[in-house]
Structure 1
Amino acid sequence: MNKLVEETIESYNEYLSILPKGCQKIADDIRQTNLNEALKEILAFSEGVSWLISANVNLEKYLYYNPLNTEKIHVFLNEINSGLEIQDYVIVADMFEYEIKPFFEKCQTY
């Protein structure tokens, strides 16, 4: 197996395994009114899941398939953005804890 493919799969699996904990931390930080930290974490989350989608697409080019509901992830990102725009931090925290975290807990690794 190509070294780059191996490293990508390893990074993908590792990131996927820590996502639920990160989602819970974002929810907790929002609820504890640690908004500056939560907003930084949300940015990192957005960049991370964008990388996850990209890695998944690129791995398919090498015939490594793993089901990842990218449409659902885009819906999450849009809902987060909408919640942040209207400064409804309760709904954003609830999304991370009750929708996004369980979604990533069920995602399969390679």
Structure 2
Amino acid sequence: MSDRLELLETTREYLLNFNKCLLQVSEELRGGKEKKGLEMIPDITQGLEWIVVVIKDIKCIDVSNSDLEKLNSILREIVEALETQDNILVGDLFEYELIPIINNIENRINNIITN
């Protein structure tokens, strides 16, 4: 298996788990378990950093600058919501804004792997 294909498959698996984590944090933030959800935010941040690095390193993943700008915009909204302690909004942003972007990246990776 080529190094590129192995990295793509590892990234795909990571994205699946990452989405599950995002959904879990979202549910905890909106379901009265804010402390537990907030404790997971640093892991989410590290995960996003890794995803961005991989996207930039694997040139074959067609992620446009506008996609990255949208991601940055959502991340700014998340930071603002965290600063104002609006945990419900943070949960909503994770589930309804961030997860679809991650799904889009995952779909692009799936297309590369299967072609």
Q: Distance in 1 between matches of 2:95 and 2:2?
A: 37
> Residues 28-79 of structure 1: CA distance to partner in whole angstroms, max 9, x if unpaired?
110222222212322211111111111111122xxxx112322222222211
Cα distance in 1, alignment partners of residues 68 and 17 from structure 2: 18
Which residue matches 2:9? 10
Structure-2 residue corresponding to 1:84: 82
Runs of 5+ unmatched residues, structure 2: none
Q: State the superposition RMSD in angstroms.
A: 1.9
Deviations 1:63-102 (A, max 9, x none): xx11232222222221111100011111111111222222
- Tell whether 2:102 aligns with 1:104: yes
Q: How many residues align?
A: 105
Q: TM-score, normalised by structure 1?
A: 0.80
Question: Separation in 1 of the partners of 2:35 and 2:86?
Answer: 15
Aligned mates of 2:17, 2:23 — CA distance in 1: 10
Counterpart for residue 29 of structure 2: 30
Question: Larger deviation: 87-96 or 15-24?
Answer: 15-24
Q: CA deviation at 1:14?
A: 1.1
Is the aligned partner of 1:21 residue 2:20? yes
Q: Are 2:61 and 1:66 equivalent residues in the alignment? A: yes
